[in-house]
Amino acid sequence: MIAPASAPDRATRQKPFTIAICGGGIAGLALAIGLLRHGVPFHLYESAHAFAEVGAGVGFGPNALRAMSLIDPRVREGYSKRATGNAHGDKRRVYFDFLAGMDCGVGKAGKKVATVWAGDVGNSTVHRAQFLDELVALVPGENVTFGKRVVEVEELEGRVRLHFADGGTAEASAAVGCDGVKSKLRHVVLGSDDGAAHPTFTGKYAYRGLIPMEKAVDLLGDELARNSIMWLGNHGHVLTFPIEQGATMNVVAIHTKRDGTWHDERWVFPVDRAQMQADFYAWGDSVSKILSLMQHPDLWALFDYPPAPTYCRGRTCLTGDAAHASTPHQGAGAGMALEDAFLLSSLLGAVRESSEIESAFCAFDKVRRPRTQRLVRTSREAGELYDLEAVGVRDDRGRLEADLGSRFGWIWEESLEGELVEALGLLGGRARLV
Ligand SMILES: Cc1cc2nc3c(=O)[nH]c(=O)nc-3n(C[C@H](O)[C@H](O)[C@H](O)COP(=O)(O)OP(=O)(O)OC[C@H]3O[C@@H](n4cnc5c(N)ncnc54)[C@H](O)[C@@H]3O)c2cc1C
């Protein structure tokens, strides 16, 4: 078991080095909280003028909830205050009920295809902006500078110099790129000539929007509105789950782009409902009702990163989407960012001096890369499965059900403490284990 650092430890055991965190989304903030707990001085540089998250829901599996507790129990407590789960009937432990969203190879519209359970947790969900507020509350304001877009990281003798878009610079012992799917630090680590430095369009896009729960219940009934449901169909799927303590239904409607390419320089923009409804015109009654209620839908082009040969170079390391941006089809990208934050902050907490940081980054890379890249790969597969494009599954309900039943266990059941033991072993066995 890993000994949590107590509050007095934090004040008295400051490390003789400092970390520059580049980007303040879930990955960057969670890392900041972990570093605080381990007495590692840091400064976070965020390109925007304030912390911000999209007005949408996010779901977390049991692994992500454990990562929150391990980063700092206050993360889990803050999350729990805002979290929602399936609320109707006996669905508390259900991850998703999968139903046919149209008449298709796996059944008539409305037919149950499969149910996937997720231990005690079910589908634990939250409004992204509310979760971000809880994270922000744990990070001291003096450790953050806004309006600082990192454009380059220069490696100097024993330290790094960040260059910002506004012409300014800052120095630190090392830099961690938490700058998302358009990461600049990924270019620093891999080099811009490496194809893996560039995100790839995955051939699918998502419409996202929210619906007031009373309206959803009026049209769909309690069971379909208040629980997590995935509607499957030809070349698309629609998922809904409750957030904001059941006051709101979150909707994500995914569709395959017919030509498989993306040319618009925008990846996220508002769309009118008619466009969305045209994509789903052949779908059943329930999906049509859901789309008719979606408020202010946005379209998100779904990009992911090709497998990187490494997540670190010298004194620069990548975490979160900057390292392994994934499609959302297994609902685990942000959860992986939380796992990253636990492991990297613990490793840096075990480092005694600046010269050991590169070894900590290497240990992080070695332990985290296989798991997170497996997520990217299997997540794409899941999209093809839900959209009935996977060979042999599109008209075989039994095979689809079997695949769904075995798809999530490795994500949810990971031993995060085991990862830390392995990584500390690589670092030279300096563990604070009891
Ligand atoms: C439709 C959809 C649904 C999803 N649903 C789920 C889900 O249910 N469960 C789940 O676990 N995951 C989900 N994900 C994935 C999840 O959203 C991401 O994995 C997660 O938000 C990544 O967080 P991040 O902090 O790494 O990156 P980001 O959230 O992209 O944050 C990056 C931050 O860095 C800043 N920044 C960018 N460039 C720079 C720079 N050069 N210098 C300084 N700052 C910079 C940005 O302003 C931003 O604040 C979903 C994704 C999508 C698209």
Tokens 């999530």 belong to residue: 408
Mean pLDDT of the chain, nearest integer:
94
- Kindly state the average pLDDT of the residues 397-419: 96
Q: Which residues contact 248 (CB under 8 A, 6 or more apart)?
A: 57, 127, 210, 211, 212, 213, 242
Q: What is the pLDDT, as a whole number, of residue 319?
A: 98
**Residue of 135, 136, 151, 178 with the most ligand 1 atoms within 8 Å of its CB, for mutation:** 178
Share of residues in the chain with pLDDT > 70 (%): 96
Q: Read off the DSSP letter of residue 310.
A: -
- Kindly state the average pLDDT of the residues 40-45: 98
22 CA closest ligand 1 atom index: 43
pLDDT at 216 over 60: yes
Positive or negative torsion for Cα 414, 419, 421, 425? positive
Task: Give 344 Cα–ligand 1 centroid separation in angstroms.
Answer: 18
The answer, yes or no, to whether any atom of ligand 1 lies below 6 A from the CB of 320, is yes
Task: Give 11 Cα–ligand 1 centroid separation in angstroms.
Answer: 31
- Kindly state the average pLDDT of the residues 329-356: 97
200-212 and 295-304 strand pairing: antiparallel
Positive or negative torsion for Cα 141, 143, 148, 150? negative
pLDDT at 374 over 90: yes
* Domains with residue ranges and CATH for the chain: 7-83+127-197+311-384+407-427 (3.50.50.60), 94-122+200-304 (3.30.9.30)
pLDDT at 434 over 70: no
pLDDT in tens, 165-204: 999 999 999 999 999 999 999 999 999 999 999 999 999 9
Task: Give 416 Cα–ligand 1 centroid separation in angstroms.
Answer: 21
Q: Read off the DSSP letter of residue 266.
A: -
Q: What is the pLDDT, as a whole number, of residue 295?
A: 84
